[in-house]
Amino acid sequence: GNSVTQMEGPVTLSEEAFLTINCTYTATGYPSLFWYVQYPGEGLQLLLKATKADDKGSNKGFEATYRKETTSFHLEKGSVQVSDSAVYFCALSHTGRRALTFGSGTRLQVQP
């Protein structure tokens, strides 16, 4: 079956530090890959996505590249801010299973 594995948190960084949150997946065929973010007290919202191999999704300074050879979709940001503190979820879906399969989530805490 499908699965998503992401690094456990919490990840604690100082403001302006470089961020990487690792995500790897197992799926049949060619899934679409997503990063969702949940800010404190708010609902889930899409951060970025990529729908085919070698695509790069980007938004708000965050980037992730769909790497089929390593089945990965690592999230990166060059300089984090306190406002980026949230829980980040990696997820996948595809034509055979349109519902999202989520990773366990990674809590990011950015300190001033």
Partner 1 sequence: GAGVSQSPSNKVTEKGKDVELRCDPISGHTALYWYRQSLGQGLEFLIYFQGNSAPDKSGLPSDRFSAERTGGSVSTLTIQRTQQEDSAVYLCASSPSDRAGTDTQYFGPGTRLTVL
101, 106, 108, 110: residue in contact with partner 1 (rule CB under 8 A): 101
Contact window for partner 1 (CB under 8 A) among 8-16, 62-70, 73-81, 89-97 = 89-97
Residue 34 sits in the site that holds partner 1 (CB under 8 A): yes
What does the buried/exposed string (b/e) look like for 9-46 if buried means 16 or more CB atoms within 10 Å of the residue's CB?
eebebeeeeebebebbbebeeebbbbbbbbeeeeeeee
Q: Which is nearest to 18 in space by CA: 56, 60, 75?
A: 75
Residue 35 sits in the site that holds partner 1 (CB under 8 A): no
44, 58, 65, 109: residue in contact with partner 1 (rule CB under 8 A): 44
